[in-house]
Amino acid sequence: MSEASTTNLLEMQSITKRFPGVIALNNVSLKVKAGSVHALMGENGAGKSTLMKCLFGIYSMDEGKILFEGKEVAFANSKQALESGVSMVHQELNQVRQRNVMDNIWLGRYPKKGVFIDEKKMYEDTKAIFKGLDIQIDPHSKVSTLSVSEMQMVEIAKAVSYGSKIIVMDEPTSSLTENEVNHLFTIIRKLQSDNVAIIYISHKMEEILKISDEVTIMRDGQYIATKSAKDLTTDEIIKLMVGRDLSQRFPEKINKPGEMILKVSDLTAETQPSFSEVSFELRKGEILGIAGLVGSKRTEVLESIFGMRSLKSGTIELNGKVVKNPSPQHAIKNGFALVTEERRTTGIFPELSISFNSIISNMGHYRKGPFLSDGKVKEDTQWVIDSMKVKTPTQKTSIGSLSGGNQQKVIIGRWLLTKPDVLLLDEPTRGIDVGAKFEIYQLINQLAAEGKGIIMISSEMPELLGVSDRILVMSNGKAAGIVETATTSQEEIMRLAALY
């Protein structure tokens, strides 16, 4: 950690940002000194990225003001932010991979010699930046041939090429090896020595304490505290991140887990970096939660079990027999169902009826020659509406006109029509209001009580603790541990999630 300036280069004062039905940021403030590394921490959904998008001109804030170098600013877009000296290295690198390195750095602002691009100057300028940062990459290399770490170095070099005074790094080490992380830290210290401020978003506690000067912690869209990194411990950070009251938010548990229904052994994804050697068991009537931070590969594990992603190795046993799910169609036949994370993009056909959305995963069941059996379709759609307690005028109502909670109930009902043994739920209450969440929790509880095996991913730790029986904690593509919900704590889960 460096001796940072005492001057505030950036002040974000009382920032509030609303989206329909939710306050994403509520009166949040942040002060960053020139030449410092300022960590921004919080659980998934705490508002860290939203705050940075307000700074970077991706979102417009509803209330508050931003002072940069002592002057009030409100960037209308990211181009304005970049030209003013504020850069952001996003977790998902957005590069033109079929072009070379220097093209990616200078895209849209090529040095010119008359009307032509000055390739020689572009090469020399790129080499000069790389030399200053100790980056060993050929500017002529095609980006698609680089490692993730090298692509990230190119993005940092691009930020430096703008003369940035602040660089935001969002989960910069999520896909890096230990040696690559050390190289990144060397680059960060070089930037600090040039009085550049770094806003560093990460869930990795040890990294934060190693590289940061100050740490700001957010929770549920609100500012919690800013402390000097040297005065913090991992346990203190975790307590500030997760302190919340869990009372009266979850229904009483009525399920009783029985014999083993699913055994997953040493699952490893075909495409890396992803998850490797993941093993766990699921019992009949059990709700197994999956916890993990951004980049932990929770979704990838469920999608692989469901046949949406290829596996390199590992076995899946259902009811004592090895099953192969090379596609979702095979997975459905084998007794699996998946409620996807992005309901609006991969879960529903918004313009079509509740009836269509109810039966689409089980269409073969309704075929009567070349036609569908209207009677059976109506009967099963009504079963979904009644058993899931869907609030709708008719079966023909378009699903897109329903609330998020009612849409999710239709999706769960659709999958139950396929009579699955194992129900995979990826963020089942995302974007749903508190009352509807309680109804979904009751439904999950009831399904488990009826003997379904349920695996549920959630980024909300209180939800996992309130609904599940056990929790598998993923960390950077590995199973960091399985804990009993009744005896674990948010602190233990967070510690495991930051393990790798």
Count CA within 13 A, CB hemisphere, residue 163: 3
Mean pLDDT of the chain: 89
Give the model's confidence band at 1: pLDDT under 50 very low, under 70 low, under 90 confident, else very high.
Answer: low
How high is the pLDDT of residue 360?
Answer: 87
CATH of span 8-242 = 3.40.50.300
**Which tokens in the block code for residue 253?**
């548990």
pLDDT tens digits, one per residue of 153-187: 898 888 889 889 999 998 887 667 677 888 889 99
pLDDT tens digits, residue range 453-488? 999 999 888 889 999 999 999 999 999 999 999 999
> For residues 266 and 280, what is the distance between their CA atoms, to the nearest angstrom?
9
pTM of the full structure = 0.59
Domain 260-497: which CATH class?
Answer: alpha beta
pLDDT in tens, 95-142: 888 899 999 999 888 988 888 999 999 999 999 999 988 888 999 999
Q: Domain residue spans in the chain?
A: 8-242, 260-497
pLDDT tens-digit series, residues 261-276: 999 999 999 988 899 9
Express each pLDDT in 289-324 by its tens digit: 999 987 899 999 999 999 999 999 999 999 999 999
In which residue are the tokens 């109804």 written? 439
- In this prediction, residue 62 carries a pLDDT of 95
Spell out the long-range contacts of 313-316 with Cβ–Cβ below 8 A and sequence spacing 24 or more.
Answer: 313/266, 313/267, 313/268, 314/264, 314/265, 314/266, 314/267, 314/268, 314/277, 314/278, 315/263, 315/264, 315/265, 315/266, 316/262, 316/263, 316/264, 316/265, 316/267
Task: Examine domains 8-242 and 260-497 and report if their fold is the same.
Answer: yes
